[in-house]
Amino acid sequence: MTFRVFNSMIGPKSRFQEAIKLRRSYISGLGDPPVVVALDDDPDALEYIFNVLHHRQERLPEVDQPLMVAVAAICDKYELHSALQPVADRVFLPLGEIASEGYGDWLFIAYVFGYEDLFSKVSQEVILSNQETISTISVYTPQKVTEMLIAKRTLIVSQLVERLISIGYERMIKPGEPRPTVKCKATYSGDTMCEFLQFGHFVGTLASGRLLENIPNKILCGLS
């Protein structure tokens, strides 16, 4: 099994210091100490990956989300996708499909292992969530992915704000006007009272954690 990144680091044509020392020790034959390549990666994730590479399935621990993120980061860094894909398919993907939180991390895991459906699911959750969720996207996630999500969310929010402001001014009660009594029933079609109830329900749905931070309170009052 050949790994391009490691071959670049210590291969026969590498110009990295570790590779030069390794070739020099072979040529001199003086019994120089073995070359040590220092890795600054998560040790638990490295141990997990080494056990996978050596087919020591019995040594694989139960995974949690931080470990999966660290494994995915090392996989992406050293291009170990083909070696780790079977384990990710068997262990990581089922957990991602039932995940109800931590979408910022799952976005990165799905990106690394090519889980298109999971990536689409978590992308939607990130886009429709509040600004804090955007900030929880894993630091390992490529900038192009993060920028795409932020741009899409910004566009959606701006379109929604523009539309709600327009509706709010149309529905806002003028000074001195009494607030109408809601009389909406299923048989009413196009009734003004019914529209008030529908808009209020719509805003209430959005207010349950999504996309309302940029809408003025006076507009929301006009909609409710």
At 185 the pLDDT is 47
Q: Which residue has the higher pLDDT, 191 or 203?
A: 203
- Considering the entire predicted model, what is its pTM? 0.66
Phi and psi torsions of 175, nearest 5°: -55, 130
Rounded CA separation 60/50 (Å): 10
Does residue 209 have a pLDDT over 50? Answer: no
How many residues in total does the chain contain?
Answer: 224
Q: Which two tokens stand for residue 178?
A: 């009494």
For 137-155, write each residue's pLDDT tens digit: 888 898 888 888 888 888 8
Q: Which amino acid is at 149?
A: L
Q: Which amino acid is at 197?
A: L
Count of Cβ atoms closer than 10 Å to residue 26 Cβ: 10
SS3 50: helix
For 41-50, write each residue's pLDDT tens digit: 999 999 999 9
State the sign of the Cα–Cα–Cα–Cα dihedral 66, 47, 42, 112: negative
Cα–Cα distance list, 209 to 125, 136, 144, 155, 184 (Å):
11, 16, 26, 18, 26
Find where tokens 């976005």 sit: 107
Question: For residue 79, is it left (φ>0), alpha (ψ between -120 and 50) or beta?
Answer: left
Q: What is the DSSP string of 144-193?
A: HHHHHHHHHHHHHHHHHHHHHHHHHHHHPPPTTPPPPPP---TT--S-HH
Question: For residue 176, is it left (φ>0), alpha (ψ between -120 and 50) or beta?
Answer: left
What rounded mean pLDDT belongs to the chain? 76
For 92-119, write each residue's pLDDT tens digit: 999 999 988 888 899 999 999 999 999 9
Q: Which residue has the higher pLDDT, 160 or 76?
A: 76
125-140 average pLDDT score: 77
Rounded CA separation 149/156 (Å): 11
106 burial type by CB count under 10 A (0-12 exposed, 13-18 middle, 19+ buried): buried
Does residue 181 have a pLDDT over 60? Answer: no
